[in-house]
Structure 1
Amino acid sequence: MVDASSDFLEQKISELSVDDPRRQLERICEERRIGCSWVWYEPIGLRFRVDFPNGREKRSQFISGGDAEKFLSVEFPAFTYLGDFDGVFFSESRTIEAAVRSNISNLLFHDIPGVRRIEHPQLQLPGMDEEVEDDARPNAKIRTNDAWILEFDPTPDRPDLRVQIGSASREFNVVSDRRRKRFPGSERVALPYGLGRFPTIRISGVREVRHDDILDILNRVSGAVFFELDLQYGVATSIVPSAASEVARSRSRVRQEKAQQVPRNPTNQYPEKPLSLYWYGRSSGIPLLEYLAYYQVLEYFFPSFSHRDTLEKLRNELLDPRFRPDDDSNLVRIIGLASGAGKGYGSEREQLRSTISGCVTEEHVRDFIEGSEILREHFSGKQKIKDVAHLNLDDTRNDFLTAVANRVYDIRCRIVHTKEDGGKSAANLLLPFSKEAEQLGPDIELVKYLAQKVLITGASRLHL
């Protein structure tokens, strides 16, 4: 990207026609005090950057000449983006619209009673083998390329609030993060209902004006709609995250360096049950579930390591020359060491600490974190996950493994929303689609690393 102050960029801007739609877009942005600038990207060329409103934040879009024409056609800029979703609020029509996706095929929507096909004369996509009519036919079979809509019956207390799921509106097709995606083999098509395979949820009649209140409506209404669709029709649906939030999530993951050696036959075998949990974490693709799966790998070994730690403490106590079997206080101390909770000894936090210290050293964990710039920045910089233990790599006076165990356990508690060790205030819930969940990548890598180490420690020789 070329610096906006460069002479090269100024030259490229001066070469634009006075009728270039990006210039018109620039004038509107300046009149309405919307942040904007010009940037040059290799190899795609000149782009006009607009910082659209998104509550207390902004969402930047890099707009080509063709994109600018489309933005100017949708009452620009009478909309605001909504949080970390690929969703917007159109202030003129008082309508929320957000992209949705199913974990199976979107065609499942088409099997829901009430879905109808929307057709327009200008809709000519590849594979359409019959004449298109400008009407809506509820009984027509819906094909992959068709535009469609499903309208929900309003409730008596809010008859003005309308909810629909269907192909993206023309306006949303322009401002969505997905606007550059094309149907294979076709040019971009601007339609009142967009492409048939690009579904959205629309909520009309919204009275609220504040961004956070509108975002709350989107969360609550879509959550209820999606849950009931799943209950009644088995359609599992969610709102699509914004492109920026998906990039943030991918950037928070650490890329593992691949080994250069040729693979060899394994000499170890690993415990079947915790290994199954490990593979569940690797395949889940959902950050919170992945974290919990790796934590469960550690949890599986709690009894082994907590017993080992307790036996060592008992051995040290009995070897103490001052131990007297006829002294009740000495025996009470032995009873206290031997008493435990559940399958292991000590609290869950203590068992986790024993397990971690049984499979890694402080140097192991420090080297792992310091070997990645992403991990170093995440754990040493400004804390992105609230209410969890901080890992200070520069602190050599305190027990680093205890801090690691505390952080792993604190995040686990925030995911499952438990109370700690008998009655402290409940941890704040770590929500699946929150910014904190997006930033969880380095912590997932840490607990995965610990799960790998404990599996190695619990391995035995492979005999076939």
Structure 2
Amino acid sequence: MTEPTPDFIQEKRSELDPHDPRLALEKLCIERGYETQWSWLQPDLRFRVGFPNGRSKRWQGISARSAEAYLSIDLPPFTYLGEFDAVHFRDRNIIEAYVLTDAPPHRLFPGIRRIGHTQLELVEPDEDGDIERQTAEVRIGINDAWVLDFSPSADRPDMKISIGSASREFAILSERHRRRGYLRDRDREALPNGLGRFTSIQISGLGASRHDEALEMLKRVTDSVFFELDLRYGTAPELAPSESKSRSYLRTRPEREAVQGSPRNPQNQYPEKALSLYRYGRGASGIPLLEYLAYYQVLEYFFPSYSHRDTLTKLRNELLDPRFRPDDDTNLVRIVNIASGAGKGYGSESEQLRSTIGGCVTQEQVHSFITANDALVEHFSGKQKIKSVPVLNLDDAHNDFITAVANRVYGIRCRIVHAKEEGGRTGVDLLLPFSKEAEALGPDIELVKFLAQKVLIAGASRLRV
């Protein structure tokens, strides 16, 4: 199928109804300095806008209905902020961001007031904690807009912070709301003043003029706000990631091939504690650092088993050496040192990891696992997205590839757990949650998960039921 030419697309655009709201939005975007683009996807003409996001753009597909929504707010000058579902309204110098909460916020905080109603504050639950007994006048229902204004501090009286129903403008600009809540919410009547049916935080009075300044202020303020809300009220809000960030994380996870054949009854049983760690890792999908560490702990569980095997091999080699003399104290000291070094595991942690990986999988198996998937090959052999960890040379898979894999697995583990200022004991920066590196961990997680599966299989026994 040939690619549509610009002339063809322009011809299709000219055939649109002159009252198509996308045409009006295109004109407004050009006035605002936002890049627009038309494309043809049989049988429809598609329109999208590249809204500013720092040094890059965040492209949004625009339907006729969403174009009407953008036009209804006159598309104020704004920029998206980093990898969050957040915006900086430049004309009013207000930052607003989508907030995820573990419970309905209006049931957690005192001082919340309705918007568009005379009732200002929720009362406390009765002695039995039964909110349902409270009268309708003091409850915030599903169709009520609400807001919680924070008390200003003495040193920054100009900074204003509030949490509540999203503003009308942000309810339209929010990626998460548009893509996840659009179908569910479209038939509900609007909240008072057209406010959004999700929670946002608004921050004003900070004087940010550039994207990077606004982003840094958003992170700094919300980090403090959310931590103190957790301390005082036992709830842990967090900023919602942009939809583009969520999709980019998914793209780091290689696709699985379809498996042929029906499931069969199991023949093996697996070590219970190690398997619980593996299941914990599976349940931590979307939390990359936690997921990685859970699979690493599966390997760690087997350290004593595999490192003792190395100890026995070393002892056997010493005793079989024709030069070994039982009447020579030097020879006996060597034997004692080998045996006493075993303990719970022989050697350093990195050496035990190498023994464990080498004991459950071959170099060829690891190399084949990586090279069978283009996403893994690109990650491990292309430009490195995880800094300060050993690189895998896929072109030299026979030169102790297991050691190279073990060194990389251990290097990432150290960057996650050495959470100390100035890079911990090794001077290497720790790998932080929500960072670009954490987002790019997908292939490394797949690798350590593969190794965890192999060591579980190697440690299996016949199922006894």
1:219-238 superposed Cα distances (whole Å, 9 cap, x missing partner): 12112221222222222211
> Where do 1:288-437 residues align within 5 Å?
288-325=289-326, 330=331, 333-340=334-341, 343-396=344-397, 398-417=399-418, 424-437=425-438
Q: Could you tell me how far 1:113 is from its partner in structure 2? A: 0.4
The C-alpha deviation readout for 1:392-446, integer Å capped at 9, x for no partner, is 2111452111111111111111211268xxx852432222211222221111111
Q: 2 CA distance for matches of 1:329 and 1:281?
A: 47
Q: C-alpha separation between the residues in 2 aligned to 1:98 and 1:2?
A: 42
CA distance in 1, matches of 2:359, 2:416: 25
Instruction: Map residues 72-221 of structure 1 onto 2, 5 A cutoff.
Output: 72-74=71-73, 76=75, 78-102=77-101, 104-105=102-103, 107-119=104-116, 137-139=120-122, 140-177=138-175, 178-180=177-179, 181-182=181-182, 183-184=184-185, 186=187, 189=190, 192=193, 194-196=195-197, 198-221=198-221
Query: 2:393 is aligned with what amino acid?
Result: N
Is the contact between residue 170 and residue 190 of structure 1 (CA under 8 Å) also seen in structure 2?
no
Consecutive unaligned residues of structure 2, counting only runs of 5 or more, are 123-137
Give the partner amino acid of 1:375.
L
Give structure 1 stretches of 5+ with no counterpart. 120-132
Distance 1:185 1:418, change over 3 A: closer
Amino acid at match of 1:118: I
Conserved? CA contact 2:390–2:407, under 8 Å? yes
Indicate the larger mover: 178-187 or 56-65.
178-187
- Aligned equivalent of 2:245: 245
Equivalent residues of 1:2, 1:41 under 8 A apart: no
Task: Write the distance in 1 (CA, Å) between the matches of 2:251 and 2:365.
Answer: 24
Moved more, 322-331 or 393-402: 322-331
2:133 corresponds to which residue? none
Offset at 1:23? 3.5
- Inter-partner Cα distance in structure 2 for 1:186 and 1:274: 49
Give me the whole-angstrom Cα distance separating, in 2, the residues matched to 1:257 and 1:396.
24
- Distance change (3 Å), C-alpha of 1:42 and 1:443: farther
Sequence identity percentage: 60
The corresponding residue for 2:233 is 233
> Structure 1 residue 84: deviation in Å?
0.6
Alignment-derived partner of residue 63 in structure 1: 62
- Structure with bigger helix share is 2
> TM-score, with normalisation over the residues of structure 2?
0.87
Deviation of 1:101 after TM superposition, in Å, equals 1.0
- 1:62 to 1:262, Cα distance in 2 relative to 1, 3 A: closer
TM-score w.r.t. the length of structure 1 is 0.87
Contact 1:46 1:64 in 2 (8 A): no
Q: Contact 2:307–2:352 at 8 Å: present in 1 too?
A: yes
Q: Does the Cα contact within 8 Å between 2:168 and 2:196 map onto a contact in 1?
A: no
The 2-side partners of 1:29 and 1:367 are apart by 50
Deviation at 1:11, TM superposition (A): 1.9
Q: How much has 1:162 moved relative to structure 2?
A: 1.0
C-alpha distance 195-30 of structure 1, shift in aligned 2 (>3 A): closer
Q: Distance in 2 between matches of 1:193 and 1:386?
A: 46
Instruction: Supply the distance in 1 between the matched residues of 2:319 and 2:173 (Cα, whole angstroms).
Output: 72
Q: Compare 424-433 and 15-24 and name the one that shifted more.
A: 15-24
With 45-54 and 31-40 compared, the bigger mean Cα shift is at: 31-40
Match of 1:268 in 2: 268
| Distance apart, 1:69 and its partner CA | 3.7
Deviation at 1:349, TM superposition (A): 0.8
> Could you tell which deviates more after superposition, 27-36 or 352-361?
27-36
CA 1:18–1:258 in 2, change beyond 3 Å: closer, same or farther?
A: closer
Q: Is the 8 A contact 1:173 1:190 kept in 2?
A: no
Which deviates more, 71-80 or 392-401? Answer: 71-80
Counterparts in 2 of 1:272-291, with a 5 A limit?
A: 272-285=272-285, 286-291=287-292
Q: CA RMSD in A?
A: 2.7
More divergent stretch after superposition (249-258 vs 400-409): 249-258
